[in-house]
Amino acid sequence: MNYSYILHTPEKLIKIDENIALFEEKGEKTYDIAPFSVSKKVTENGIYRIIELTVSSENDAEVYLSLMGEGEAKFFSFQNSPEDERIYRQSPHDVKRYHFKMQRNAVPMVAAVMGEETAFFISDNPSYFDNATTQHIIPAENTFYLSSGDKGGAPNFPESDHFDPIFHKIGGKLSHTFRFIVFKAKATDLKMIRREAYRAIEKVWGEGSDSLYRAACYAGNYMHIRKNETGRSEKWVVAGIEYANAQYFRDSFYQTWILGEDVADECYRALDYEFKDAENPMMYLIWSYRNFKAGKTVNRARADMAFETVMACMDKFTADGGYYPNCRPDGSFRNWFDICCYEFDDVDAYNQGLCVCALESAKRLGYDIGDRKEKALARYHALFNGEYIPMSAKKQFLAVDISVGEVLYWMLFDELFIDNTMFEKTYRKICDGPSKTKYGIKIVSAPDGSYLPLEAYGLNGYVHEGFNTIDLGRYANGGSYHVYEMLFHIAAHLHGIADAEKNLTERLMIDLDFDGATHEYMHTLKGIGVKANQGWNASIYAIWAEIMKRGKATSAYFDAADAKMASL
């Protein structure tokens, strides 16, 4: 293939350099292209070349930069291999839009398959380029552009939202820099391409670990970092490519376990909105203590608000230690399981476990919790019906999200709080019956393990309209959620249940076997993974690494994960 460095202005495309021996590039060079000056810096990290192009000008101008490749190859994005021209993007530049139409690429990259060898071109994360990274692939012309800006438009995608061109302002001391990785590897299908992309990102922008599993977890979330276009912090992290440019509370809480304390602090500071509903006030207290423990900032004003909300929710009814969250008038959006409706005086195991963790977090932040933690813990144990801990007091269903609060409690305080017998009975009830399918455990199931009728998710005959398009086995209707099932198995391991690590490993393999990535959920009847590269799944790596660090596990799970990734 032939390679060129390109400078784009609103008026024209300028070739900075062409016929480049891209995979032999070394050192530094400056190009004078009046009125612009472009400097090139190439560094090496093993097989990876990191190329940095910086454009400056004494005069004000608008520009962006590209690597252009031309030649016979089969081109891939991270998502797929397009048959016709496409412009892939990482952000629609609208933090308020949940539904948007855009050709998406979770990792800003292009791969060119040429026989048994594939050339990779991967941009640094979009936050460095005002979220304007694009990948323009033109198969009919055997051409691609890996870019730090956006030419606008959406070829061959008539239903697309409108996209204007985006250029970066330069002039005087203000310059624009574009960084990207180039390398070659043996990778001929999408699973292999994703694996090698993950590996490269971890090696260049991560900790440099040899673990392919860590690479997948870190790289996916690193490429979910965005410039915070609200201005409340410099950066934040999106839950996945499907979530526009908005940070979601609970997702970012999990995602930042692997992104490091500095990014976690940025994302924590971005939480500048009302969070009085669902589990948000409890999670804010937990995150505040996590930040405090790491020596980072704690927003006391907002922590005060969260604490007052938690107290109010515990005092709604009989002050029996139960947590009664704020939710919508129809009983929905009470917790992460948003479209499931509960009675207002119901106590669900997920929230109740988080309540125990939030109260201990509040206590260590200096709040007076009195005897509320003891009452909350007693109320959690009171949910046990003799056979298992149910989804809630009034919804006596099997659910795998019952132990989330306990795992977080262990991470922060090195203790468990669920009775071993209660937990083991619950685990056996779920894992030894039809709740467990070959595509993962149903997020919720009937006491006999079968799929629930839709009315079970409702309240007084009302079922949230969100269920109208969800077939059996999909999403909330019996799908298998990666993060919650994995946390369930982790809790089981911490409780000493012998087959927990085996089940943890098998569940990961279900995702990786599908397409080499982890997903928000697996369809438990069709075996389809939905939302590849879902960010919060990476918390599982970070939590298991901590378990190993405390001497509570061997490397067997990680070894199996790495072996699977290597075999793709």
DSSP 160: P
Task: State how far Cα 243 lies from the chain centre.
Answer: 10
Query: What type of residue sits at position 236?
Result: W
The span from the CA of 88 to the CA of 380, in Å, is 47
> Which region holds residue 333: left if phi is over 0, alpha if psi is between -120 and 50, else beta?
left
35-67 pLDDT tens trace: 999 999 999 999 999 999 999 999 999 999 999
Closest CA to 134 of 122, 121, 148: 148
189-202 pLDDT tens trace: 999 999 999 999 99
Calculate Rg over the CA atoms of the chain.
25
The answer to whether 327 and 333 are in contact (CB under 8 A) is: yes
Q: What is the DSSP string of 463-490?
A: --GGGGG--TTSTTTT-EEHHHHHHHHH
Mean pLDDT by 10 residues, the chain (568 residues): 97 96 96 96 98 97 98 95 96 88 96 95 97 98 98 96 96 97 95 95 97 95 94 92 90 95 94 83 97 95 96 92 96 95 97 98 98 97 98 98 98 97 98 97 98 94 91 95 98 98 98 92 96 93 97 96 94
pLDDT at 196: 96
The span from the CA of 171 to the CA of 162, in Å, is 29
Residue with tokens 């994360």: 125
DSSP β-bridge partners for residue 459: 462
pTM value? 0.94
Q: What is the DSSP string of 313-355?
A: HHTSSS-SS----B--TTS--SSSSTT----TT--BHHHHHHH
Q: What is the fold of 222-567?
A: Glycosyltransferase (1.50.10)
DSSP 451: P
The span from the CA of 108 to the CA of 78, in Å, is 8
Q: What angle do CA 370, 371, 377 make, to 5 degrees?
A: 135
CATH architecture under which domain 2-205 falls:
Distorted Sandwich (2.70)
Task: State how far Cα 86 lies from the chain centre.
Answer: 25
The span from the CA of 163 to the CA of 165, in Å, is 7
Cis peptide before 35 (omega within 30 of 0): yes
User: For residue 535, what are the CA distances in angstroms to 153, 217, 259, 517?
Assistant: 28, 8, 11, 11
Mean pLDDT estimate for the chain: 96
At 360, list the tokens.
């201990």
504-524 pLDDT tens trace: 999 999 999 998 889 999 999
Q: Which long-range contacts (CB under 8 A, 24 or more apart) does 140-143 make?
A: 140/84, 140/85, 141/70, 142/70, 142/71, 142/72, 142/73, 143/68, 143/69, 143/70
User: For residue 414, what are the CA distances in angstroms to 17, 345, 410, 494?
Assistant: 57, 31, 4, 10
pLDDT at 273: 61
At 235, list the tokens.
């950066």
3-class SS of residue 161: coil
For the chain, give every residue range classified as CATH 2.70.98: 2-205
The span from the CA of 533 to the CA of 485, in Å, is 16
pLDDT at 311: 97
pLDDT at 152: 97
The span from the CA of 501 to the CA of 385, in Å, is 26
At 79, list the tokens.
């998502």
pLDDT at 412: 98
For the chain, give every residue range classified as CATH 1.50.10.10: 222-567
